[in-house]
Amino acid sequence: MKIARFSRVGFILAAAGSAVGLGNIWKFPYITGEYGGGAFVLVYLITVLTIGFSIMIAEMLIGYLGRMDAARSFEKLAPKNAKTWRLAGMMGIWAGILIMTFYSVVIGWILHYIVVAFSTLPSCVKEAEVAFNTLLHEDIMTQIFYHTLSFLFISAILVRGIKAGIEKLNLILMPLLFIIVGGMFLYALTLDGFAQAWHFMFSPDWSKLSSEAFVVAVGHAFFTLSLGMGAILTYSASLPKEVNLVQSSLIVVALDTIIALLAGLMLFTFLYQYGAEPSKGPGLVFISLPATFYAMGTLGNIFAILFFFALAFAGLTSAVSLTEPMVQYLIDKYSITRLKAVMIAGGFFYLVGIVALASNSSSFSQMLTFGSKNFFNWVDYITAAFMLPFGGLLMAIFIGYKIPKEQVFAVLGKNLGRGFEFWYFILRYIAPIALIIVMLNLLGVIKF
C-alpha cells in the first residue's frame, strides 16, 4: 500500500528529473560528436518521438494500473504468467542499480569539477586533458571521496520517500536546471560559433551513419527517456488517479528533448567559438569544455560553476529514479523499512561503483578489463545497448498484447482520441520490430 502520492506537478517534474540527466548534458553531446552529428541526431529524434513516446505512455500505464513496485506490477496485471512477467520487472530493477554503479561515479567527477570551477580552471585543452586523465587513471581516492558524497546525498533523499524526498528534490532542482541551461543557451545564441554548432547538429551527412551509430542512437533514446527499466513505472505507481498519462508523457519527452538539444547547441557553440574539437568522447565536458570556459575569462568562470551545478542537479534527480525501483521493490517484497532498503540498494551500487571506478585506473585496469572494454564501460554498454531496449520491448509487448485492449482503451482512449489506434500500432508492430533489429544487430546476428 502506498500512502504518499505525487502531486501532478511533482510527478511531471520527477519524471522529467529522471529523464533529464547526464544522458542529456554529458552523453548526448559527446556521442553526437563521436558519431558525426546531424544524421545521428535525426535518428535519435525520430526514435524519441515515435518509439520513445509510445513506450513512455505504455510504461506509465503499467505503473498506473499496477500500483506496485516494478516486479509486482507486472505480476499483478498478468496473474496467469506472473512468474515470467515478473522477470521483466526484475531485469529493470537490476538495470537501474547497475547503471548507478557508474552513474554515481560520474556524479562524483562532476562534484569534483564544481570544486575545480571555484578554484582554477585548466588554461588549455592539453592541461585539461592531463587533469582529467590524472583523476581517472591515477587518483582513485579522490574519486572514491566524491562517489561517497554522491552516495550519501542520494541515500539521504531516498530515505525521505516519494513526497518529502523525491518530489521536493525535483521541485527545487529542476527549475534551477532549466534556468541555468536556458540562460547559457541564450548567451550562446549571441556567439558566432552558434551557426557552426547548428550546422553540425542539424545537417545530416548520411555517409556518417554506421549501423553502430544507429544502434547507439536507439539505445540512447531509451537511456535519455529513462525507459525500459521501471523508473517511470515506479513513479507512476504513486500517481493520483486523475492524471492524464498522455499529456504527462508528452511533457516529459518534450522537456527531455529540448534540454538535450539546448545543451548540445550551447556546448558545441562554445567549443567552435574557442576552437576546441567536438569529437572528444566522454571527456568532452571534462576536458574541452573547462579549457573553453577558461578562454572566456571571468564570465567563463561563472559559467563553469553554473554548468557543473546544473550537471550535478541533472545527475542527482536521475540517480534517485535509478535507485528507487530497487528500494520500492525491497520494501514491498520483504516488508523492511525504507532506511534498510536504501542501505541495501545504495550499498550495492556504492561498492560495485568502487570496482567500476577502479577499472579506469592504471593500477587495476588490467585486472578489470574483459575483452574490448573495462568493467565501467561494460556496464554502460550492456545496460544502455541491451537491457533498456530489451526492457522496452517487453513493456511494448505487455501493453500491446498481454493487457486486453479494452482495458488499455479505458484509460487512454479519451486522452489519445483518434491517435489511439496509431499509438497502439506503433506499440504492437513498429516498436517491437525496431527493437528486435537493434538487439539482433548488437548480437551480431544481422549486419546492415
Tell me the sheet residues that pair with 373. 370
One character per residue 84-123, x = contact with ligand TRP (rule: CB under 6 A): ------------x--x------------------------
Distance CA 188, CA 190 (A): 5
CB 324 within 8 A of CB 338: no
Distance CA 185, CA 180 (A): 8
Q: Which of 361, 374, 366, 213 is nearest to 279 (CA)?
A: 213
Distance CA 151, CA 421 (A): 44
CB 285 within 8 A of CB 25: yes
CB 73 within 8 A of CB 318: no
Three cell numbers at 23?
544522458
Distance CA 22, CA 2 (A): 30
CB 143 within 8 A of CB 364: no
Q: Which of 3, 183, 88 is nearest to 401 (CA)?
A: 88
Position among 101, 150, 224, 328 found at the interface with ligand TRP (CB under 6 A): 224
DSSP state at residue 205: -
Long-range CB contact pairs, 353-358, < 8 A, 24+: 353/100, 353/101, 353/102, 353/104, 353/105, 353/147, 353/151, 354/144, 354/147, 355/101, 356/101, 356/102, 356/105, 357/105, 357/108, 357/140, 357/143, 357/144, 357/147, 358/140
Residue nearer to ligand TRP on the CB measure, 17 or 400: 17
Minimum distance between the CB of residue 343 and ligand TRP, rounded to whole angstroms? 21
Please state the separation of Cα 101 from the chain's center in Å. 13
Residue nearer to ligand TRP on the CB measure, 94 or 272: 94
Minimum distance between the CB of residue 348 and ligand TRP, rounded to whole angstroms? 16
Minimum distance between the CB of residue 80 and ligand TRP, rounded to whole angstroms? 28
Near ligand TRP in 368-397, by CB under 6 A: 388
For ligand TRP, which stretch binds (CB under 6 A), given 59-67, 114-122, 226-234, 406-414? Answer: 226-234
Q: How many residues bind ligand TRP (CB under 6 A)?
A: 17
One character per residue 1-40, x = contact with ligand TRP (rule: CB under 6 A): -----------------xx-xxxx----------------
Residue nearer to ligand TRP on the CB measure, 19 or 105: 19
Tell me the sheet residues that pair with 370. 373
Residue nearer to ligand TRP on the CB measure, 246 or 322: 322
Residue nearer to ligand TRP on the CB measure, 284 or 296: 284
Distance CA 286, CA 133 (A): 10
Near ligand TRP in 236-275, by CB under 6 A: none
Tell me the sheet residues that pair with 374. 369
Minimum distance between the CB of residue 152 and ligand TRP, rounded to whole angstroms? 19
| Count of residues in the chain | 448
Question: CA 314 → CA 108, 191, 233, 292, distances in Å?
Answer: 13, 25, 20, 21
Question: CA 200 → CA 22, 28, 45, 290, 324, distances in Å?
Answer: 21, 14, 15, 21, 37
Minimum distance between the CB of residue 103 and ligand TRP, rounded to whole angstroms? 7
For ligand TRP, which stretch binds (CB under 6 A), given 152-160, 188-196, 317-325, 374-382? Answer: 317-325
Minimum distance between the CB of residue 270 and ligand TRP, rounded to whole angstroms? 21
Minimum distance between the CB of residue 28 and ligand TRP, rounded to whole angstroms? 8
Near ligand TRP in 408-437, by CB under 6 A: none
For ligand TRP, which stretch binds (CB under 6 A), given 2-10, 33-41, 202-210, 219-227? Answer: 219-227
Minimum distance between the CB of residue 96 and ligand TRP, rounded to whole angstroms? 6
Residue nearer to ligand TRP on the CB measure, 341 or 416: 341
For ligand TRP, which stretch binds (CB under 6 A), given 41-49, 120-128, 149-157, 315-323? Answer: 315-323
Residue nearer to ligand TRP on the CB measure, 89 or 300: 89
Minimum distance between the CB of residue 367 and ligand TRP, rounded to whole angstroms? 28
By CB under 6 A, residue 321 contacts ligand TRP: yes
Q: Which of 214, 397, 176, 161 is nearest to 307 (CA)?
A: 176
Minimum distance between the CB of residue 387 and ligand TRP, rounded to whole angstroms? 9
One character per residue 344-363, x = contact with ligand TRP (rule: CB under 6 A): --------------------
Position among 135, 188, 231, 435 found at the interface with ligand TRP (CB under 6 A): 231
Which residues are near ligand TRP by CB under 6 A? 18-19, 21-24, 96, 99, 223-224, 226, 229, 231, 318, 321-322, 388
